[in-house]
């Protein structure tokens, strides 16, 4: 899952990015509203952490422009502002949740996980597909109750597929959601990760839709 962090305090942005990466996310960062707005317009993100007090373009304006352009990724507002009127303005512009500085990093991560789950239509922190279970809190994967050890990229591929179990996901889409903007992306590596996942999870854990991509549900979007 790929996250955009737009925060002008460089040290805080680095801390957040590090925590997200340790939790298994792919992270891009921006330190002003202009750059953040551009990335949100041009790159596919599963969620955005957005500060309001940004240089060049303020966070509320960035958020409003995204929503006006039809971008629906969940947005978690991060700000030092504490008045109810500013929080209400954030929600009215299309924010999905709100965290006030200073904050606990575990709370931020928990709220982010919940946003991503809800945006994909999941209510529980444990995602299931047949015998495969993914605990989004810990990143642990089990098959019939037995823990399976995955590499970071294998887990990213599986997590994206399990958040979208009824969807056929193309190699390009998977590539865009497991690598950051600076990575030299090669969609052919996705086939390698899929092959490794099938060996660890079972040959029928992931289905190939020839010429279209992969899914966890055999009948996903067959039409």
pLDDT value for 84: 76
Q: Kindly report, residue by residue over 33-73, the tens digit of the pLDDT.
A: 999 999 999 999 999 999 999 999 999 999 999 999 999 99
Q: What proportion of the chain, given as a percentage, has pLDDT over 90?
A: 79
- Residues 85-99 have a mean pLDDT of 90
Task: Judge whether 143 and 202 are in contact, CB under 8 Å.
Answer: yes
Last residue of a domain, one of 84, 102, 119: 119
Which residues have a Cβ under 8 Å from the Cβ of 7 and sit 6 or more positions away?
Answer: 13, 16, 29, 30, 31, 49, 51, 78
Domain count, the chain: 2
* CATH number (domain holding residue 191): 1.10.10.10
pLDDT value for 79: 83
Q: Is the pLDDT of residue 218 over 70?
A: no
Last residue of a domain, one of 90, 119, 148: 119
Same domain, 76 and 179: no
- Residues 168-179 have a mean pLDDT of 92
Last residue of a domain, one of 119, 143, 169: 119
Same domain, 54 and 157: no
Q: Which residues pair with 211 in a beta bridge?
A: none
Assigned domain for 177 exists = yes
- Sign of the Cα pseudo-torsion (67, 70, 71, 73, in order): positive
Assigned domain for 220 exists = no
Assigned domain for 69 exists = yes
Same domain, 110 and 200: no
Q: What proportion of the chain, given as a percentage, has pLDDT over 70?
A: 94
Same domain, 77 and 186: no
- Where does the pLDDT of residue 223 fall: very low under 50, low under 70, confident under 90, or very high at 90 and above? very low
Domain membership of residue 187 as a residue range? 126-215
Q: Is the pLDDT of residue 7 over 90?
A: yes
Q: What is the full DSSP assignment across 82-145?
A: --HHHHHHHHHTT--EEEESS--HHHHHHHHHHHHHHHTT--SSEEEETTEEEETTT--EEETT
Query: Which of 99, 109, 215 minimizes the C-alpha distance to 165?
Result: 215
Same domain, 41 and 86: yes
Q: What angle, 0 to 180 degrees and rounded to 10, lies between the N-to-C axes of helices 10-22 and 105-119?
A: 60
pLDDT value for 87: 80
- The radius of gyration of the chain from alpha carbons, rounded to an integer in Å, stands at 18
Which residues have a Cβ under 8 Å from the Cβ of 107 and sit 6 or more positions away?
Answer: 99
- Residues 197-208 have a mean pLDDT of 95
pLDDT value for 185: 62
Q: Kindly report, residue by residue over 176-185, the tens digit of the pLDDT.
A: 999 887 766 6
Query: Which of 59, 61, 60, 71 minimizes the C-alpha distance to 31?
Result: 59
Same domain, 157 and 182: yes
Assigned domain for 223 exists = no
Q: Is the pLDDT of residue 219 over 60?
A: no
Same domain, 191 and 167: yes
Mean pLDDT computed over every residue of the chain: 92
From CA 86, how far away is CA 163, in angstroms rounded?
A: 32
């Amino acid at each position: 899952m790929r996250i955009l962090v737009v925060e002008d305090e460089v040290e805080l942005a680095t801390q957040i990015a590090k925590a997200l990466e340790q939790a298994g996310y792919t992270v891009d960062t921006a330190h002003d509203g202009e750059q953040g707005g551009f990335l949100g317009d041009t790159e596919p993100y599963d969620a955005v952490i957005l500060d309001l007090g940004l240089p060049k373009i303020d966070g509320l304006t960035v958020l409003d422009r995204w929503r006006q352009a039809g971008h629906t990724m969940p947005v978690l507002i991060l700000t030092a502002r504490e008045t109810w009127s500013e929080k209400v303005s954030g929600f009215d512009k299309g924010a999905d949740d709100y965290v006030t500085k200073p904050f606990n990093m575990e709370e931020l991560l928990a709220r982010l996980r919940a946003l991503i789950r809800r945006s994909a239509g999941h209510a529980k922190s444990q995602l299931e597909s047949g015998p495969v279970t993914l605990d989004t809190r810990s990143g642990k994967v089990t098959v019939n109750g037995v823990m399976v050890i995955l590499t970071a990229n294998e887990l990213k591929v599986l997590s994206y597929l399990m958040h979208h179990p009824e969807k056929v996901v193309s190699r390009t889409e998977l590539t865009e959601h497991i690598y950051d903007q600076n990575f030299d992306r090669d969609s052919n590596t996705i086939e390698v990760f899929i092959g490794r996942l099938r060996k660890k999870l079972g040959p029928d854990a992931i289905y190939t839709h020839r010429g279209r991509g992969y899914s966890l549900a055999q009948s996903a979007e067959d039409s």
